Amino acid sequence: MIVERLSYSQLMDHTDLLVTLEDLAEYLGIPKRTIYAWRYRGIGPVGLKLGGHVRYRRSDIEKWLDEQRDEREFTGTTLRSRFGQ
């Protein structure tokens, strides 16, 4: 059976498709070595080990991204008001 290789955008249209480490790095815009370092330290998205391969569920990636959200509230103060100008 011949399997068509889907583009990353096609893959990301399906919530629980499995994504490769390369696809994840491309999506996040970071080097693959960063993903490897995160896996080693246990701080990145949850991965699935399938034989000798690591794959990521899109839903796990999105959940992890939500957990990384910067929750600081912006008070609307400007630099001018903060420094008394």
pLDDT digits (tens, 9 = 90+) for 7-60: 666 666 665 789 999 999 999 999 999 999 999 999 999 999 989 999 999 999
The full set of domain ranges for the chain reads: 8-66
CATH for 8-66 is: 3.90.105
pTM score: 0.65
Per-residue pLDDT, 2? 46
Task: Tell me the pLDDT band of 75, cut-offs 50, 70 and 90.
Answer: low
Crossing angle of helices 32-41 and 21-28, in 10° steps, is 110
**Do residues 58 and 48 touch, judged by C-beta distance below 8 A?**
no
